[in-house]
A = this chain, B = another copy of it.
Amino acid sequence: MFSNEEKESIYKVIYNRRDIRSFLSTPISEDKIDRILSAAHHAPSVGFMQPWNFILISSDEVKEKLAWAADKERRSLAIHYEGEKETNFLSLKVEGLKEAPLTICVTCDPTRGGSHVLGRNSMPETDMLSTACAIQNMWLAACAEGLAMGWVSFYKKNDVRDILEIPPHIDPIALISIGYTDDYPEKPILETANWRKRESLKSLIFKDKWQETN
């Protein structure tokens, strides 16, 4: 059972967790990293398959290569966006990969647990969903540890496979930057940048069946 104080702490971290794109170079102690990864490893997984691996990247050379891959994709994506604001915003996002003292590539191995993983047999994408749950645990733990985390999701997966020598059947789901920041925002940066507003929760809840709201 959880006391009211405990509950409040849990909601506090859920509400305060933010996606961060600028980092200080201050190093992170190993015990913090261990606790964050252990939190990730205690995520739920379909058929208990635990499909995740964590590649910890602190080499500047490797971080430069990853930033190159993300920047290449950023420039390619920017062609689909119009207007200076959007392009500027996109350019902000890649710097974090170089600034943060630690980048973690979180991967998903769809073959772990054999050919007939319970649940995954029915929905193959549940291995990725499990990996996302691990990333969310990691994010909450990082926030609790006073660390900032950013999830980079634009790169060609084969570029990241090449850079990190990841086998072809392994899915590099996310590049995660972790570090300290002196710029921890109250609201999501995309909300502050008027990219998009938070939806009203009420409009997202239906009873007993789908209800079209538009």
Task: Note all chain B residues with C-beta closer than 8 A to A116.
Answer: 80-81
A10 at the interface (CB under 8 A from B): yes
| Bound Cα distance A59, B207 (Å) | 9
| Bound Cα distance A156, B137 (Å) | 28
Determine if A14 and B140 form an interchain contact, defined as CB atoms under 8 angstroms apart. yes
Q: How many copies does the complex hold?
A: 2
Nearest CB of B to A114, in Å: 9
Task: Select one of B1, B42, B121, B188 contacting A14, CB under 8 A.
Answer: B42
Nearest CB of B to A182, in Å: 13
A39 at the interface (CB under 8 A from B): yes
Task: Select one of B6, B39, B199 contacting A9, CB under 8 A.
Answer: B6
Interface of A, secondary structure class, is mixed
Closest to A113 in B: B196
- Chain A, interface residues (CB within 8 Å), range: 35 or more
Task: Note all chain B residues with C-beta closer than 8 A to A23.
Answer: none
Task: Select one of B119, B139, B146 contacting A2, CB under 8 A.
Answer: B146
Determine if B122 and A132 form an interchain contact, defined as CB atoms under 8 angstroms apart. no
Determine if A41 and B201 form an interchain contact, defined as CB atoms under 8 angstroms apart. yes
A181 at the interface (CB under 8 A from B): no
Determine if A14 and B137 form an interchain contact, defined as CB atoms under 8 angstroms apart. yes
Can you list 20 A-B pairs, Cβ within 8 angstroms, ordered by A?
Answer: A2-B9, A7-B144, A9-B9, A9-B10, A10-B141, A11-B144, A50-B199, A52-B204, A54-B204, A55-B209, A56-B205, A62-B208, A80-B116, A113-B196, A119-B154, A123-B153, A129-B173, A133-B133, A136-B137, A166-B210
Chain A interface residues (CB < 8 Å from chain B): 1-2, 5-7, 9-15, 17, 19, 35, 37-39, 41-44, 46-50, 52-59, 62, 73, 77, 80-81, 90, 107, 113, 116, 118-123, 125-126, 128-133, 135-137, 139-141, 143-146, 151, 153-155, 157, 164-167, 170, 173-174, 188, 190-191, 195-196, 198-199, 201, 204-210, 212
